[in-house]
Amino acid sequence: MRPDLHRTVALRILGSRAHHRKVDSLFDLRNRRSIGANIDTKIDKGLFRHSKRARFEPAGRAKSIDLPENRHRIMLEIVHEALKSATGGILHGYLYPYILEGMLLTLVLAALSLALAVALGLIAATARLSSLAPARTAAWLYTTIIRGIPDIVLMFIFFFGGQLLLNEIGFRLDALASAWRLPFNPGWDYIEISEFTAGVLTIGIIFGAYMAETFRGAILSVPVGEIEAGHAFGMSRGQVFQRITLPACVRHALPGFGNNWMVLVKTTALVSVIGLEDMVFRATQAGGTTREPFLFYLAVALLYLIITLLSESGLRRLEIRFNVGVRSAQETL
């Protein structure tokens, strides 16, 4: 359909002069050649999708019509094309969106791994300090074994060995159900662990062991008098841990926590060896295509440095926040 016919149909559907101006503003985007030719198609699709759902008010009332439903998507496309044109000459055009999308995946992977590591670290630290011998032994074995095996070996074990182990267990359970003629036998399909899932699990389990030692040292740094005061007020062990120990140990745990986070971010580069398309993997592909691997690895190193510097700045602010009044209170005592 011709652009002038687009405009005519849209104006007949929308009706009022105010809406004429909206249509004109949308069609004027055709003159922005630097944005890209594909924007015209998206504007036309959004306009005519909206025209089918136009809402008309009764006579005597002002007509109410919204902008196209996908206007946010159109704006994102405009920003996307503008960024592509602005960074087109950097790294032979591979910086955006190719490398930066890999950096976003790296940050998501690091955040999810950190959440898993904190949960496992709190559980293991509590078990190490528990009065139950089996819990202490299990936590000790976990932290000792995980910290004693190289990270990349654990990555391969979880990605390949974990996948084989899960399927072997499933097939054996399926065989037992068939042999015993159980009334329910759902069958077992082959389970394939994705690279992202394996990366999150591996990095989370690895740094859960390091976080456990960090949290254990922070808990032991809490003065015994504060804990005894909580018991004297009639609090249970859980209440003392929740209301006294945990808030007080945050200040002591922050330096070690920050160090573990920075090492965790750098460890995410290992997931490229199992095929996850993070920024290291994409830099390798782009370097092989252009035969300039040093240039792309240097760019990735700078991106990692930016992430760690921003993290260090944020963690320093947290440390200052949690240390407010501590020195003055100690000087008073």
The model's pLDDT over 162-220, given as tens digits with 9 standing for 90+, comes to: 888 887 887 777 777 777 776 665 566 777 888 999 999 999 999 999 999 999 999 88
C-alpha distances out from residue 70 to 74, 76, 234, Å: 6, 10, 59
> Does residue 323 share a domain with residue 197?
yes
How many structural domains are present in the chain? 2
Does residue 92 belong to any structural domain of this protein?
no
Does residue 258 belong to any structural domain of this protein?
yes
On the question of pLDDT at 330 being above 90, the answer is no
Of the three residues 25, 49, 82, the one that is the final residue of a domain is: 82
Q: What is the pLDDT of residues 89-142, one digit of tens each?
A: 677 778 888 888 999 999 999 999 999 999 999 999 989 988 899 999 999 999
pLDDT at 134: 93
Of the three residues 23, 53, 82, the one that is the final residue of a domain is: 82
pLDDT at 183: 65
Does residue 88 belong to any structural domain of this protein?
no
Does residue 14 belong to any structural domain of this protein?
yes
Q: Which residue has the higher pLDDT, 37 or 218?
A: 218
> Does residue 103 share a domain with residue 78?
no
> Does residue 67 share a domain with residue 210?
no
The string over 137-146, giving b where at least 16 C-beta atoms fall within 10 Å of a residue's C-beta and e elsewhere, is eebeebbeeb
Query: What domain range is 42 assigned to?
Result: 3-82
> Does residue 201 share a domain with residue 323?
yes
> Does residue 197 share a domain with residue 57?
no
DSSP element (H, E) containing 139: helix 133-148
pLDDT band for position 10 (cuts 50, 70, 90) = very low
> Does residue 254 share a domain with residue 169?
yes
Of the three residues 82, 107, 129, the one that is the final residue of a domain is: 82
Q: Which phi-psi region, left, alpha or beta, contains residue 96 (left: φ > 0; alpha: ψ -120 to 50)? A: beta
> Does residue 225 share a domain with residue 201?
yes
> Does residue 61 share a domain with residue 104?
no
Does residue 257 belong to any structural domain of this protein?
yes
pLDDT band for position 312 (cuts 50, 70, 90) = very high
pLDDT at 20: 46
Q: Which residue has the higher pLDDT, 322 or 303?
A: 303
> Does residue 154 share a domain with residue 64?
no
pTM of this structure = 0.71
> Does residue 67 share a domain with residue 172?
no
On the question of pLDDT at 152 being above 80, the answer is yes
pLDDT at 45: 44
Does residue 28 belong to any structural domain of this protein?
yes
> Does residue 24 share a domain with residue 112?
no
Does residue 304 belong to any structural domain of this protein?
yes
> Does residue 315 share a domain with residue 287?
yes
C-alpha distances out from residue 81 to 74, 88, 90, 288, 311, Å: 11, 10, 15, 26, 29
Mean pLDDT of 17-37: 45
Does residue 91 belong to any structural domain of this protein?
no
Q: Which phi-psi region, left, alpha or beta, contains residue 189 (left: φ > 0; alpha: ψ -120 to 50)? A: beta
pLDDT at 187: 61
On the question of pLDDT at 40 being above 70, the answer is no
Q: What is the pLDDT of residues 60-95, one digit of tens each?
A: 444 444 445 567 777 777 766 776 676 666 777 788
Question: In CATH, what number is assigned to the domain containing residue 254?
Answer: 1.10.3720.10
